[in-house]
Structure formats: C-alpha cells, structure tokens
Chain A
Amino acid sequence: MSQQITVYTSKSCPYAHRVELALVEAKADCTRYQIDLRNKPDWYAPKVNPVSKVPALAYGGPPVPADQPSPESTKLTESLVLVEFIADLFPESGILPKDPVLRAKARLFADAVSNKLVPAQVAVLIRDEDPEQLVQAYEAIQALLPPQGFALGPFSAADIAAAPFLARIELNLANDLGGFPANEGKGPKILELLHAPKLARMQQYLKDIRGHPSFVATFDEASRSVTLHFLCGHGH
C-alpha cells in the first residue's frame, strides 16, 4: 500500500528525532541515512532539501541508494508535517487517534511545544537568558497533561513533538552544557528549578517518555552524540 521511505536524519537533531519516533511507532520499513550536519554531502541540498536541514523524507520512486536520491521520489520536510504524514500513511499506528477532538488536542499540545517549550529552550540553554522562561514553559506543558499517562493518555504525536526537546534539555543541563559559562554549576542549578515539587507531574511525564519503547529505541545511542553536538557549539 505505501511506497519506499528514506529518511535523512541526524541523531543530535531533536526535529529529526521526532520523525524517527514516528517511524518506530508506525513499525515502518524504511531506510535511515545519517547526515553529518557539520559536513553535509554535496548532493543533499540539490537532491533532497534545498534548505539543507534535517529531517527530510524521500517517498516513493524507484529503489535507489539513499545517497543517490531519485528525482522521481517526493521530497518532504518539516518535522511536524512529516509526523502527520507518517500518521496518515500508517493510521493504525495510533500516532494520531481517530477521534477529531483528540486529534485537535494532540495538535494543540504540539503547538504549545512549538510556541512555548522550543523558544524557552533556545532562550535559556543557548542564549543564557533567565531560566524562569523555561520553568514557565514546563508549567504550561504540564498544565495540558492528564493526571497520568501521556498527553492524550496513550502515546501520540503530541508526545513525539515534545520528547526530543525535553530529553535534550534535561541531558544538556545535567551535563552543565549550554550557552551559559561552563564550570559554574549553572546547568544543574537550572535543572533543580525544573525538578521543583510544583513540576512533579512533568518529571513523571519525562520518566514515562524515557521508558517508552520508541524513545528507548531512538535516543539511547543518540544521547552521546547530543552532548558531543553541544560541545561543538552547534545547538540550535
């Protein structure tokens, strides 16, 4: 029913991680090609993504090596569009439920991730601004969570949107990595704010994410390269 899927990805990139989560949830047969973001292959921009970013997905067309993409495949980009695409290709995956109200709630959660969590992460972890922004972003996301489980109850596109960012925020802060000066314990200090009692529900959510199979399958290896990526000053 569906055609070949090749995803161009990078373990350090949270946006690409979203697509990898979706593909594992869908149990999709696909080819993964790692793009070194600091040394992109010269065919990547002209043949896959003119903006040169990951993730990108080549869908359909003849079976070709990933590094020789065919003009006949459809090239798609934008992590959240790709997650919806995978949900559409594999409706039984549960990435998006069938109920329109629940689908809307998943999208509103993804919206909060884009409009609150991601900008706060950039502000605090990269530009070394007031950590209170990140505390407030966590509180906003937490307010959308049900008393237990994932954003909609079962794991969905909502959690796929949030998980890669939450995981990298926590990992980087725990390792004192960020745009703030090193060796002043700033990272762990910020992490303590995020682990305050008023954010207990959020910490449980993170725990649930970390134990979820598709996350375990796509982050364990990535964690090392996430920290390395940051050390090289390429957080974005």
Chain B
Amino acid sequence: MSQQITLYTAKICPYAHRAEIALAEAKVEYTRFEIDLRNKPDWYVPKVNPVGKVPAIAYGGPTVPADQPSPESTKLVESLVLVEFIADLFPESGILPKDPVLRAKARLFVDAVSNKVSPAQAAVLIRGEDPEQLVQAYEAVQALLPPQGFAIGEFSAADIAIAPFLARIELNLANDLGGFPADQGEGPKILELLRAPKLARLQQYFKDIQARPSFATTFDKEHVLASSKRRFAELRAKKYGA
C-alpha cells in the first residue's frame, strides 16, 4: 500500500530522531541514510533538501540507492510533519489515535514541546542562560501528563516529539556539556534542579520513554555523547577562548 521510504538522518540530531522513532513505532521497512552534518554530501542540498537539514524523507519513486535520489520521489521535511506523515501512512501504528480529541491533545503536547522545551533547551544548554527557564519548561510539560503512562496514556506522537530532547538534555548535563564554562560542575548542578522532588512525575515519564523500544533502538548514546563533546568543545573555545 505504501511506497519506498528513504530517511536522511543524523544520530546526533533530535529532530531527525523523532522521525526514526516514528518509523520504528510503525515497524516499517525503510532505508536509513546517515548524513554527516559537518560534511554534507554535495548532492544532498540540490537533490533532497535545499535547506540542507535533516530529517528529510524521499517517498516513492523508483528503487534507487539513497545517495542517488530520484527526482521522481516526493521530498518531505520538518520533523513534526514527518511524524504526522508516518502516522497517516501507518494508521495502525498508534502514533496518533483515532479519536479526534486525543489527537488534538497529542498535538497540544507537541506544541508545548516546541514552544517551551526547545527554546528553553537552547537558552540554557547552548546560550548558558538561567537554568530556571528549563525547570519551568519541565514543569509546564509535567502539568500536561496524566498520573501515569505517556502523554495521552498510550505512547504517541506527543512522546515522540519530546523524547529526543529530554534524552539529549539529560545526557549533556550529566556529562557537564553545554554552553556554560567547563569543569565548574555546572551541568550536574542544572541536572539536580531538573531532578528536584517537584519534577518526580517528569522523571518517571522520562524513565518510561527510555524503556520504550522505539526510543532505545534509535538512541546511540555513545555516538551522541562523542559528538556533543566535540561540539561543545568547539562552542566553548569560541565563547571562552581555548
């Protein structure tokens, strides 16, 4: 019923990770092509995504190697649009439920991730701003969670939207990685704020996400950590001088 799917992705990228989780939830066969974001192949921009970013999906068209994309395939971008696309292609995946109210609730949760968590993550982990922003973003998301389970009960597009961000926030902070100065214990200090008793429900939620196979099989912790170390070393050198 559906046609070939090629996903252009990168392990470090939380946006691309969303698409990978969705495809894993759909249990669908697809071609995964890793793009080195620091050294993009010269065909990527002209043939797949003019903006040069991941994720991107090439859907349909003839069977071709991923590095020779066909003009006949449809190119789609934007992680949240791709998650909805996969949900539409594979309605039995459960990525979005059938009930319109639950679908709306999933989308409102995604909205809160986009409008609260992503900006706070950039502010605190990259620009080194007041960690309280991230605490408040966590509290806002926590307030939307039911007493147990995932955002709308069953695992859904809502959880897919946030999981890659929560994972990278925790991984980076635990390893003292971020736009803040190194070797001052800043990362672990911020992590402690995020693990305060008032955020217990969110921590349980994150635990539940980590146990989800579609998350676990698509998160290469070692690779992401190595990339983060490199990236923040460069960022810190620029910001604070090597």
Which positions in A face B, CB cutoff 8 Å? Answer: 59-60, 74, 76-78, 81-82, 84-85, 88-89, 100-101, 103-105, 107-108, 111
Given contacts A104-B88, A111-B81, list 9 more A-B pairs with CB under 8 A. Answer: A76-B101, A85-B101, A85-B104, A100-B2, A103-B84, A104-B82, A107-B78, A108-B76, A108-B81
Q: Verify A81–B111 contact, CB threshold 8 A.
A: yes
Q: A104-B85, A111-B78 are in contact. Are A74 and B111 (CB under 8 A)?
A: no
Q: A104-B84, A108-B76, A108-B81 are in contact. Are A78 and B108 (CB under 8 A)?
A: yes
Which of the listed residues B89, B100, B103, B108 has the most CB atoms from chain A within 10 Å of its own CB? B100
Residues of B within 8 A of A89 (CB): 100
Shortest B131–chain A CB gap in Å is 24
Cβ-closest chain A residue relative to B89: A100
Which of the listed residues A59, A77, A81 has the most CB atoms from chain B within 10 Å of its own CB? A81
Give A89 to B85 CA distance when docked, in angstroms: 19
Q: Verify A76–B108 contact, CB threshold 8 A.
A: yes
Q: Verify B85–A59 contact, CB threshold 8 A.
A: no
Which positions in B face A, CB cutoff 8 Å? Answer: 2, 59-60, 74, 76-78, 81-82, 84-85, 88-89, 100-101, 103-105, 107-108, 111
Cβ-closest chain A residue relative to B88: A100
Q: Verify A108–B88 contact, CB threshold 8 A.
A: no
The answer, among A74, A81, A88, A108, for a CB contact under 8 Å with B77, is A108
Residues of A within 8 A of B101 (CB): 59-60, 74, 76, 85
Give A167 to B100 CA distance when docked, in angstroms: 29
A-B contact pairs, 15 of them (CB 8 A): A60-B101, A76-B101, A76-B105, A77-B108, A84-B107, A85-B101, A85-B104, A88-B104, A100-B85, A103-B84, A103-B88, A104-B76, A104-B84, A104-B85, A107-B84
Residues of A within 8 A of B74 (CB): 101
Shortest A145–chain B CB gap in Å is 17
Our count of residue pairs bridging A and B at CB distance below 8 angstroms stands at 55
Q: Verify A88–B81 contact, CB threshold 8 A.
A: no
Q: Verify A88–B100 contact, CB threshold 8 A.
A: yes
Give A74 to B103 CA distance when docked, in angstroms: 13
Residues of B within 8 A of A84 (CB): 103-104, 107
The 4 closest A-B pairs by CB, nearest first: A100-B88, A88-B100, A104-B85, A85-B104
Residues of B within 8 A of A108 (CB): 76-78, 81
Cβ-closest chain A residue relative to B84: A107
Give A77 to B81 CA distance when docked, in angstroms: 19
Q: Verify A85–B84 contact, CB threshold 8 A.
A: no
Residues of B within 8 A of A82 (CB): 104
Q: Verify A101–B78 contact, CB threshold 8 A.
A: no
Q: Verify B100–A85 contact, CB threshold 8 A.
A: yes
Residues of A within 8 A of B100 (CB): 85, 88-89
Cβ-closest chain A residue relative to B85: A104
Residues of A within 8 A of B103 (CB): 84-85, 88
Q: Verify A81–B104 contact, CB threshold 8 A.
A: yes
Give A81 to B76 CA distance when docked, in angstroms: 20
Residues of A within 8 A of B107 (CB): 78, 81, 84
Residues of B within 8 A of A74 (CB): 101
Residues of A within 8 A of B108 (CB): 76-78, 81
Give A119 to B77 CA distance when docked, in angstroms: 20
Give A107 to B88 CA distance when docked, in angstroms: 12
Cβ-closest chain B residue relative to A59: B101
Shortest B91–chain A CB gap in Å is 10
